[in-house]
Structure 1
């Protein structure tokens, strides 16, 4: 990441150096599902960008560690989910 000293944090993938990349086969969906997927992708690509940094209680500069939220959408959500908030 730009602006972070590599002595502090560095990304490393633990893979075999001699391993060759393998292309995965494309997934096939039913035609009705494929159309729904295409509509959703188009909707997301045309949507305005969002940022959760403005909603943080500490502000964007004071937040340095991710926090886990088990109910990011309030108690009305019935599904248990984990979200990382920067």
Structure 2
């Protein structure tokens, strides 16, 4: 494992521990903020996604395409946060 991989591993492990301590509601809020940042500040991915949606759904309006894209960003970031917050083992879960 090279140096960059080690840094990335420890960073994600730390973030996972922190996010795992938040309530589900706070995790949703965090994921919505991440989605907003990704949507507004990574235009290259957004342009490709808009192009793909227009190709796949030419009959839909631009507003529908923008709303669908925003929902995709929210879905992706929510799943990413849930993945990071997933417990390491089921022993820590009280049923």
For the superposition of Structure 1 and Structure 2, which TM-score range results when normalised by the shorter chain?
under 0.3
Q: Which has the higher contact order (CA 8 A, sep 6+)?
A: 2
**TM-score (ref. length: structure 2):** 0.25
**TM-score (ref. length: structure 1):** 0.27
Relative to total residues, which structure has the larger helix share, 1 or 2? 2
